Amino acid sequence: MPTPDWTPPVRTLLDTAPPMKLGKFGPPDPAARQILTTANPRRWFRDGRAPEAAVGGLWLRHGGWDDAHNIIQDLPSTEAAYWHGILHRLDGDSSNAAYWFRRTEGHALYKHFAFEAKKLEGRHAGAGFTAGAKWDPVAFVAFVDEVRGQPESPGHALALAIQEAEWRLLFEWCARANIK
């Protein structure tokens, strides 16, 4: 992911982020943990829509599920609700994930999620997931549940790719104010 305009700590965290998994992973490596524990959301994301949620997303990206949850659960924004849904999708608590995703219905990012999922779907023939014109995060939870235990399947590869795009779009939305 190109990161030329991020602050140095954020650039480091993005450049060293491990690959995501469809379940809980982690813990963060010591260097990432050290940076994340000194996070200054308003300094790192001066023009961000939801700087604290962006930091929660970075914790999640580095496998700090509990740390991400501790940040996200106390934030009132729709973006935080979406992060909360991702957290519970990762821990396999599908009904809780669905609850949080329902609280984000109609978010402006849905059109971007749908576009990315549709694009990625075309690269993963036989994956078994069809992204509609409107993003349905609850349907995606069901799909992830279905393919989580099939790491060699096209569906698993597609779910990971969509999750990566979803993370990137939500992170950038929270971290910057100029994304529409």
Residue 179: DSSP 8-state:
-
Range of the domain at 128: 8-175
Give the pLDDT confidence of 30-70 residue by residue, as tens digits: 999 999 999 999 999 998 999 999 999 999 999 999 999 99
Give the pLDDT confidence of 85-101 residue by residue, as tens digits: 999 999 999 999 999 99
Mean pLDDT (the chain, rounded) = 94
pLDDT at 179: 55
Scanning the structure block, which residue is given the tokens 């650039």? 11
Tokens of 172: 């950038």
How many domains, in total, are found in the chain? 1
* Pair 111, 44: CB distance under 8 Å: no
The answer as to whether 1 is a domain residue is no
pLDDT at 1: 44
Scanning the structure block, which residue is given the tokens 């965290």? 13
The answer as to whether 35 is a domain residue is yes
Q: What proportion of the chain, given as a percentage, has pLDDT over 70?
A: 96
Alpha-carbon distance of 78 to 23, in angstroms, equals 23
The answer as to whether 98 is a domain residue is yes
The answer as to whether 3 is a domain residue is no
- What is each CA distance from 131 to 11, 82, 177, in whole angstroms? 31, 18, 27
The answer as to whether 2 is a domain residue is no
The answer as to whether 25 is a domain residue is yes
104: Cβ–Cβ under 8 A, 6 or more apart, which residues?
78, 81, 82, 85, 137
End-to-end CA distance of the chain, in Å? 19
The answer as to whether 123 is a domain residue is yes
Give the pLDDT confidence of 127-150 residue by residue, as tens digits: 999 988 899 999 999 999 999 999
Does the predicted TM-score (pTM) go above 0.75?
Answer: yes
Around Cβ 179, how many Cβ atoms within 10 Å? 13
The answer as to whether 180 is a domain residue is no
